Amino acid sequence: MSANYERKIVIVGKTGNGKSSLGNVLLGRRAFDEARSFNAITKECKVETDKGNVSIVDTPGLFDSDGEKNFVMQALEVQKAIKLCPNPHAFLIVLNGSTRLTQEELSTIDVLRIIFGEQCLTRAIIVLTHIENNEDETQLRGRFGKSDGMSNLIKQCGNRFARIDNREPKPEHKERINSLVDQVSRAGKVSFKNEFLYVREQVLQKALKTHDSGKVHEQIKRLSEQIKHAEEEEFNRKCWKAAGVGAAAGAGAVCVVAGIAYLGGGSEAVATVVTNPETAQVVIEKSVNVATGMIGFISSAH
């Protein structure tokens, strides 16, 4: 990669889709073990760097069915990517472009929401592997345009997608991926942050201890609800702690700040609140609820 700034990338996806191979292509060397079968090679998160300015994390496959780790254990292992490589610039979601998407793969975005939070999607890029170089862009777009599932995944990732044949990667396909990483990171100036990531880890750890199981889509729904509830409680707790009883008049403003911190903090988070009506509504509603509670508490105390 030719850049004088950092590129920190986390690669996620199902076993057999070519995550490790893609990492090797982007690094320009064989840094990760590759498999020529659907058996998982990557069991733990592993980070490799190239000349100090490029860091890539290869993660264990999602939805592995080898019996060694259940869904919650896999999610916790993938989340370790942030500890190995804090504040990554992009998440590459690797899908096999030569096969039909499985029902589990259609849930990939929901799984990433559980592991990292909604804001990771602002840095997510779909990368289609196993696509032969002789298939032109028109054919490719036409083929995937007929798949509602694929179209929806790409749409949720801001319509960002690239293609590559890991066996014979074309320079322009590799450059397309680099360009999208630069786009979501503003040439390395902004990165992923989630001040509430520990809440997700706590929910996952609790589910692990209580042997939460069942079909993957059922676990995803249940965990999503648990995380939403836990984050709302933590959000409210932080607002009360930050504002203090004597600062009820400014409670709303303090909670908006907490909401921005929840989105990652910084000017980009502010822009998200300002430009995204749905996100702004959530932050404002939480702010009003907590501020109203504070004011009501003080009024009753007097």
Considering the domain boundaries, does residue 191 fall inside one?
A: no
Q: What is the pLDDT of residues 66-88, one digit of tens each?
A: 555 688 999 999 999 999 999 99
pLDDT for the residue numbered 291 = 54
**Are residue 177 and residue 238 in the same domain, yes or no?**
no
Which is higher by pLDDT, 101 or 124?
124
End-to-end CA distance of the chain: give it in Å, rounded: 64
Whether 119 and 77 map to the same domain: the answer is yes
| 91-95, 125-129, 137-141: least confident range | 137-141
Q: Do 181 and 291 share a domain, yes or no?
A: no
Number of domains in the chain: 2
For residues 19 and 155, state if they share a domain.
Answer: yes
Of all residues in the chain, the percent with pLDDT exceeding 70 is: 73
Selection from 63, 68, 76 nearest residue 106 by Cα: 63
265 and 129 within one domain? no
Domain of residue 294: give its range.
197-301
Token pair belonging to 51: 């000349």
Output the six-digit token pair for 195: 């001040």
Residues 115 and 249 in one domain: no
Helices (H) and strands (E) in the chain, counts: 12, 6
Task: Tell me which residue of 13, 22, 12, 7 sits closest to 164, measured CA to CA.
Answer: 22
Q: Check pLDDT > 70 for residue 280.
A: no
Type and span of the H or E element at 94: strand 90-96
CB neighbour class for 159 (10 Å; exposed up to 12, middle 13-18, buried from 19): exposed
Determine the average pLDDT of the residues in 17-32.
Answer: 93
CB 264 within 8 A of CB 194: yes
Strand extents, DSSP E, 104-207 = 124-129, 161-163
Q: Return all residues near 232 (Cβ < 8 A) that are at least 6 apart.
A: 286
Same domain assignment for residues 93 and 181: yes
Same domain, 64 and 138: yes
On whether both 171 and 129 belong to a single domain, the answer is: yes
* Residue 92 belongs to some domain of the structure: yes
Written as six digits, the tokens of 281 are 């509504």
Judge whether 60 lies within some domain.
yes
**154 part of a folded domain:** yes
**Averaged over 196-204, what is the pLDDT?**
93
The answer to whether the beta carbons of residues 27 and 76 sit under 8 Å apart is no
Q: Is it the case that residue 111 has pLDDT exceeding 90? A: yes
Residues 161 and 232 in one domain: no
Quick one: 142 and 19 in the same domain? yes
- CATH number of the domain at 39, please: 3.40.50.300
- Decide: 107 and 242 in contact? Cβ < 8 Å: no
- Residues 141, 212, single domain; the answer is no
pLDDT digits 0-9 by tens, 211-234: 777 788 889 999 999 999 998 888
